[in-house]
Amino acid sequence: MPVFDFSNAPGGKKTESVCTYTTFQSNEKEKTADEPILVLDNQSRQWKHHSGGVFANQSQQTAFEFKEESETYSADILKVDARFVSLIKWLGENHISVRLSGENREEGYAVYKIRETTFGAGTKLSAEDGFLQFMIERLLASSAPAEEMDEEEEDENGDDMKLTSLQSISDFMTCAGRTMPDNIRLWARRNLAVARSHEVSPEERRHAQRALSIMMNIQWKSNYFEAIDPVEARKILDEELYGMEKVKQRIMETIIQINRTHTLPAYGLLLVGPAGTGKSQIAYAVARILKLPWTTLDMSSINDPEQLTGSSRIYANAKPGIIMEAFSMAGESNLVFIINELDKAASGKGNGNPADVLLTLLDNLGFTDNYMECMVPTVGVYPIATANNKADISAPILSRFAVIDIPDYTSEEKKIIFSRFALPKVLKRIGLHQGECVVTEDGLDAIVEQFKHTSGIRDLEQAAEHLAANALYQIEVDHVPSVTFDAENVKKLFA
């Protein structure tokens, strides 16, 4: 267990320090007096709700020094959330003045909030602009380290901060400690050494710093997923999709599986069906249900594997691949990858097949980007792919998915979708009331008949747009109170 030796005594013989605290494991995402960051001794003195001071070290014990008026009082640190050990050590080493918010309890002063107040003597540029709040939020979002190594007020938000300078990256690595995956922590140390070295070229230093900034700005979360409310999940599916009961049932089975195991299924979803049947809409609905950020990979526009894997740092214009950039944009390791037009992935025109790159991503065994030169965990990645033709997908890729066939809509379903969803949506967008644009029953039949040979509902949505625009024109130009479209009017409009 590390001892906070903040004395910085110049020279001389130091008295051996004794650690006064124990650590406890916590995965709470919000801190309260019941689930504090740390607990301080309050037997000799009850501390104020808001108290200022610095973390310091007396000759024999780890403590916090309270600054009250012109007096300084110290209190031993009794307990610390294991995720915050390195952060508290860093605050003390750099003499950063903080304000604690806590509550006096029988076991001690339970601190649930730490905020920076002013710079101390050791000014650290990275402590400006919300670094401390950024760091606390990242630690709260992380899981408790597997083992500890020997070594009501105005809310503040540090989420918008990006780690770009070497100082802020270095401080983040120190504070994050073992909340980062081991291989990323070791990789970061090596790259930080390269970024600071004067024995390598400026180009190598620049690439190392850029790679560090990308990696440190990603929250590497655990693969534990909270239970999802099935009722809420079904409600989202019903809002986004009409009919498709078999498809909804298959998605709900996946949700129930997550609730039992608290991990993602071993296989992603592959949605196969004609164009315009709502495959992408289903994928977005699943991401919404999982409460995860999502990113899209359009395989029809990717013709070289390097677009996915990134380029080596030996090139001056090297950069990460699309997959690594997706992690960076999402800001976390748990996300939904929506792979559009997977059946187009086999038509690579570059040096290799882009589809082959997806195999490691789909296996959840980790993904290595050529630019980052580090294997990143993918256990929190849930792939959802769409395709028009299953026969054009290679067998190895196909075996990584649970396939869901999306049927085309029947004529009756198209009528309901047009009248209940497509047309009202367009009318609301352009500011018309439903009574100003009326489609009769035979007019509705004529619309569906007009597009009976097309798959999906995109043509129906365009038809709704055409009808609404025509009605608006007649109301504004011809000054009619409303427009009714019967079969004859529909045929004239679409002739």
CATH number for position 301: 3.40.50.300
In angstroms, the CA 334 to CA 327 distance is 8
pLDDT of residue 6: 45
Q: How many independent structural domains does the chain possess?
A: 3
Residue 196: inside a domain: no
In angstroms, the CA 199 to CA 231 distance is 60
In angstroms, the CA 27 to CA 5 distance is 27
pLDDT of residue 13: 47
Co-location of 174 and 256 in the same domain: no
DSSP class of residue 407 equals P
Co-location of 475 and 349 in the same domain: no
Q: Do residues 20 and 38 make contact, with C-beta atoms less than 8 angstroms apart?
A: no
pLDDT of residue 455: 74
Q: Which residues does residue 50 pair with via DSSP β-bridges, in sequence order?
A: 101
Q: 414-424 pLDDT, tens per residue?
A: 888 888 888 89
Against a cut of 0.85, is the pTM above it? no
In angstroms, the CA 356 to CA 362 distance is 10
Co-location of 136 and 240 in the same domain: no
Report the chain's mean pLDDT, rounded to a whole number: 83
pLDDT of residue 100: 93
Q: Which of 381, 405, 429 is the last residue of a domain?
A: 405
434, two tokens: 């439903």
130, two tokens: 């919300």
**Residue stretches of the chain with pLDDT short of 70:** 1-18, 57-61, 118-129, 146-162, 346-352
Q: Which residues does residue 164 pair with via DSSP β-bridges, in sequence order?
A: none
Maximal C-alpha separation, the chain:
101
Query: Sign of the C-alpha dihedral, residues 221, 223, 229, 232?
Result: positive
First-residue to last-residue Cα distance in the chain: 80
Co-location of 131 and 235 in the same domain: no
Co-location of 169 and 239 in the same domain: no
- Its domain, for residue 442, covers 411-493
